[in-house]
Amino acid sequence: MSLRHALLGLVAYHPASGYDLMAIFRTSLAHVWPATQSQVYGELARLTDAELLAVTAQGPRGRKEFTITEAGRSELVRWVTDASVNGPHRNELLLHVFFLGVVDAGEARQYLARQAELATDRLELLRRLESSRSWDNEALGSYGRLALEHGLRLAAMERDWAEWAASQIGSAPTSSNGSSTTGPSGR
Amino acid sequence: MSLRHALLGLVAYHPASGYDLMAIFRTSLAHVWPATQSQVYGELARLTDAELLAVTAQGPRGRKEFTITEAGRSELVRWVTDASVNGPHRNELLLHVFFLGVVDAGEARQYLARQAELATDRLELLRRLESSRSWDNEALGSYGRLALEHGLRLAAMERDWAEWAASQIGSAPTSSNGSSTTGPSGR
DNA sequence: CATCACATGTAAAAGGTTACATGATTCT
DNA sequence: AGAATCATGTAACCTTTTACATGTGATG
């Protein structure tokens, strides 16, 4: 139930409306914790019901500004310092890799080379974001910088790994059903 | 809808029952694509309905052995070579990091130090798995090795990043101090 | 006065988790 | 005989995605 905590965290930094929060989910949090408008408005209502948030101002177009309550803040603090919180971690890239045996070595190598390119692009994008520094005068600034560095290191790691992985694949072709051959060079 | 493809991939390597497949989800795929028994049996039924899998043998306790069909195999090949497939990528660790500002610097540093320890433990676990080689005579062997290497590099990266991040805290309370000593390798 | 940005909501469907339920076979 | 393992399924609930639906206020 981390969307809840993402909302508490954002509102704790600064009171905001659902619309404001959506803008943050579309930008800063897009690659960390994606959420849809539908989800955000629903969860804000539930958080208000639970008295972890409160509506503290109304604006022009039915705008509601949410502020964190004391109960909300203590729940946030409890969650943020709990290192054991760690949901399951799905990786679609690795799922592909596991089953690369169904295609021949050439296609597998090509797939990995493409992943190396994509990681390079991500790295480039983050480097430009880092230079622009638009992120660091925002509310999430000082800690957002740490998250950005994580992204940079991850992209570099994936680029290097994908290049290495491509190089590991021998030219020994795999049969079309992959069940009998053990594949390329045994270690 | 990747559970579908995970099942197609596993059955393509070797015909299996739901029970057999669950054993793989609990071990090899646990950190790549978690799935519950409930999900697996349900999806196997749907895949059989869609004629991407077929029941090719019945065993002792109502056991049904599934085999991939031609249609199933071509769907799997299409998916596996499609580098554009990439679902949203949630990272609860980074979500914590974004909101570390709600606690004081000492607690934030402690949190990151704990994450460095946890990453070290994961690395150790994977190294032991690598030595044991139990994985490489299995169906997923040759490509599973590439996935394992990804895990090793990821764990090492997260350990280094968390140590670096912990060291960054406290040196500049509000403004950022831009330069990283141990940034990712450039090119 | 038209268009864009602001602003909030609901409904249906798909995907995922937890808990319950049942029974057969093998091993000690 | 009792326990562990093999084996499949269903029900309730929660989370996430996609699509629909509506209206206000500011700007050119």
Is the CB of B135 inside 8 Å of chain A's CB atoms? no
Mark whether B105 and B158 lie in a shared domain: yes
Nearest CA in chain A to B167: A146
Q: What is the mean pLDDT of residues B41-54?
A: 98
The secondary structure of A78-121 as a DSSP string is HHHT-TT-------HHHHHHHTGGGS-HHHHHHHHHHHHHHHHH
Give the residues across from A64 on adjacent strands. Answer: A58
What confidence tens digit (pLDDT) does each residue in B53-82 have?
A: 999 999 999 999 999 999 999 999 999 999
Mark whether A14 and A63 lie in a shared domain: yes
Count up the domains in chain A and report the number: 2
Asked if residue B126 is part of any domain, the answer here is yes
Mark whether B69 and B97 lie in a shared domain: no
Mark whether B38 and B74 lie in a shared domain: yes
Asked if residue B185 is part of any domain, the answer here is no
Q: What is the mean pLDDT of residues B32-60?
A: 97
Mark whether A70 and A101 lie in a shared domain: no
Mark whether A69 and A100 lie in a shared domain: no
> Which residues of chain B have a CB within 8 Å of the CB of A140?
98, 101
Site from B89, B120, B153, B177 to mutate, A interface, most A CB atoms within 10 angstroms: B89
Mark whether B111 and B155 lie in a shared domain: yes
Mark whether B136 and B99 lie in a shared domain: yes
Whether B181 contacts B164, CB under 8 Å: yes
Asked if residue A187 is part of any domain, the answer here is no
Mark whether B12 and B72 lie in a shared domain: yes
A60 touches strand C (CB under 7 A): yes
User: What residues 35-54 of chain A have any CB closer than 8 A to a CB of chain B?
Assistant: none
> Which residues of chain B have a CB within 8 Å of the CB of A155?
184
Asked if residue B63 is part of any domain, the answer here is yes
Whether A40 contacts A71, CB under 8 Å: no
Mark whether B107 and B69 lie in a shared domain: no
pLDDT mean values, one per 10 residues, chain A (187 residues): 96 97 96 97 98 97 98 97 90 97 96 97 94 62 90 98 95 47 36
More confident residue, B172 or A13: A13
Is the CB of B184 inside 8 Å of chain A's CB atoms? yes
Query: Measuring CA to CA, which residue among B180, B144, B95, B30 is closest to residue A82?
Result: B95
User: What are the C-alpha distances in Å from A133 to residues A13, A142, A157, B176?
Assistant: 19, 11, 23, 10
Asked if residue B179 is part of any domain, the answer here is no
Q: Specify the nucleotide whose C1' lies closest to residue A43 (CA).
A: D15
Nearest CA in chain A to B181: A149
* DSSP-derived 3-state class of residue B35: coil
By residue range, what is the domain housing residue B131? 92-168
Contact A178 B77 (CB under 8 A): no
> Which residues of chain A have a CB within 8 Å of the CB of B161?
149-150, 153
- The CATH number covering residue A53 comes to 1.10.10.10
Asked if residue B87 is part of any domain, the answer here is no
Task: Return the pLDDT at B142.
Answer: 85
What confidence tens digit (pLDDT) does each residue in B91-114 have?
A: 999 999 999 999 999 999 999 999
For chains A and B, CB pairs below 8 A equal 217
Asked if residue B182 is part of any domain, the answer here is no
- What is the C-alpha separation between B7 and A34, in angstroms, rounded? 26
A59 touches strand D (CB under 7 A): no
Distance A60 CA to C2 C1' (A): 21
Is the CB of B70 inside 8 Å of chain A's CB atoms? no
In chain A, which residue ranges form alpha helices assigned H by DSSP?
Answer: 2-13, 18-26, 37-49, 70-80, 92-98, 105-132, 141-168
Asked if residue B161 is part of any domain, the answer here is yes
Last residue of a domain, one of A23, A48, A80: A80
Q: Which distant-in-sequence residues (6+ apart) come within 8 Å of A25 by Cβ? A: A6, A33, A34, A35, A40
Task: Return the pLDDT at B171.
Answer: 54
